[in-house]
Amino acid sequence: MSFLFKSIAEYQSDLLSGQTNCVSVVEHYIQEIAAHKNLNAFVEVFEEQSLKRARALDHKLNSGDKPGKLFGVVVAIKDVICFKDHKVTAASKILEGFISLYSATAVQRLIAEDAIIIGSCNCDEFAMGSTNENSTHGKVHNALDHSKVPGGSSGGSAVAVQAGLSMVSLGSDTGGSVRQPADFCGIVGFKPGYGKISRYGLIAYASSFDQIGIFGNAIDDIETVLDVIEGPDDYDSTTSTSSNKQKVTDAKPVIGYFKNALDHPSLDVEIKQSIYDLLDNLKEAGYNVKAYEFDLLDYVVPAYYVLTTGEASSNLSRYDGLRYGYSSNSMESLDKFYTSTRSDGFGKEVKRRIMLGTFVLSAGYYDAYFTKAQQVRQKLKDRANEIFSECDMLIMPTVPATAFAINDFQKDPIAMYLADIYTVFANLVGIPGISVPLFKHSNSMPFSVQVMSNNDNELSLLSFSKSLLHDFDYRK
């Protein structure tokens, strides 16, 4: 694998000094994507448009115009993020042939700061999955070991950065879909707090959980991209109006961790020991580290799947085959047409979650399941507020194990759901989280530590994560 740059700042310095230009860089990435086609990371590569954009940016620089914050930066986007006049399928047959009529706010902001969108990346269908095997475009392979999954649902976006096929990429994170594939691929994956980045133009899975996230090799690069795409948006009333320009101090943050999360039987012994070693090293380095017993841990996955499948059932009801996308040839009756279209158009995992969601929203079971899960969610938020009144950062594993083998969970989807135990907490309570690649397992695969902070504390979270990479990188 050929990596072109170490950081956005270094790359842009080379552009400004004339050591390289946008056209040659885009040509390099197009060649790399073609050379690694077997990874199946991309759904579509925007070759012609990217080269045209690169030529225009080179002309802009040569003309003396001020470059944007992301000038020349090559970005890949997940195939659930709309880009005007380009296909967006959510990796589903039901959106076959659909061309987006507008660009997501995040994409508009990237382009406004002179970024180059190189292509759209493969993912689990409608962002539902943890392995990137649930896609109408086929499986994505982990670049470190092709027999392993890259994680999901944003597996293609993760592999694009992992394999040097783009500088940074955008994914979406509903219950860990940026942090978990970042862990499996050995890169940085960041999910800001709910509402920090506009969801306008992000195809919905579960609207009160979904958040656009960022993949990169360097935390400084993620910080640069966040600065461009965050902020209020008139098209998304759930975006936060609070400032993300909080002051980052030199004081060491207080670190918390859930003891029962680290002692959970699902956690790989080597990952458990590595996280405990990190906590011990943080104490030795002068950090105040606090242990918490978290009695709600076993409720997070059930609550998450009740609520997200309920929201998915509602969100995906719009795909009927009448207005856009795939349509069945069945014309016996409208009922048969709907049934045939949705049965043929949706994949197995999406149909499973629609049925689960429809069940928990049904009249006889709504209070027993959906209402109860909402009450658990509120308890989790209250507990998070208590914890963050005492500590600044919360440390947990990202995933209970290293990258799964392909086909491991095809016969047991419940086991795959339970593997989300460490990531769904951040989405349930709406706080930011990051997967920081610090470790290498004895099986040669990477794994990360997950760090979370309170809302509107993204810059402090990124600053602490940089300290972890600088001072506690156990891969060295």
Q: Which residues are catalytic?
A: 78, 153, 177
- Of 453, 454, 443, 349, the C-alpha closest to 136 is 349
Q: What are the CB-based long-range contacts (under 8 Å, 24+) for 248-252?
A: 248/459, 248/460, 248/463, 252/285, 252/286, 252/287, 252/288
The residue length of the chain stands at: 476
Pairwise CA distance, residues 227 & 9, whole Å: 14
348: tokens are: 């197995």
- Of 178, 182, 214, 168, the C-alpha closest to 74 is 168
Pairwise CA distance, residues 230 & 245, whole Å: 11
User: For residue 397, how far is the Cα from the chain centroid?
Assistant: 16
Q: How far apart are the first and last CA of the chain?
A: 20
> What amino acid is encoded at 51 in this protein?
L
Q: What are phi and psi of 129, to 5 degrees?
A: 155, 165
Determine the 3-state secondary structure of 442 from DSSP: coil
Pairwise CA distance, residues 431 & 393, whole Å: 11
Pairwise CA distance, residues 457 & 244, whole Å: 7
Residues whose CB falls within 8 Å of the CB of residue 370, separated by 6 or more in sequence, listed in order: 306, 307, 310, 360, 361
Q: What are phi and psi of 211, to 5 degrees?
A: -155, 135
- Of 262, 210, 256, 246, the C-alpha closest to 81 is 210
- Of 364, 337, 431, the C-alpha closest to 393 is 431
Determine the 3-state secondary structure of 102 from DSSP: coil
* Residue the block writes with tokens 């990190």: 278
> What amino acid is encoded at 335 in this protein?
D
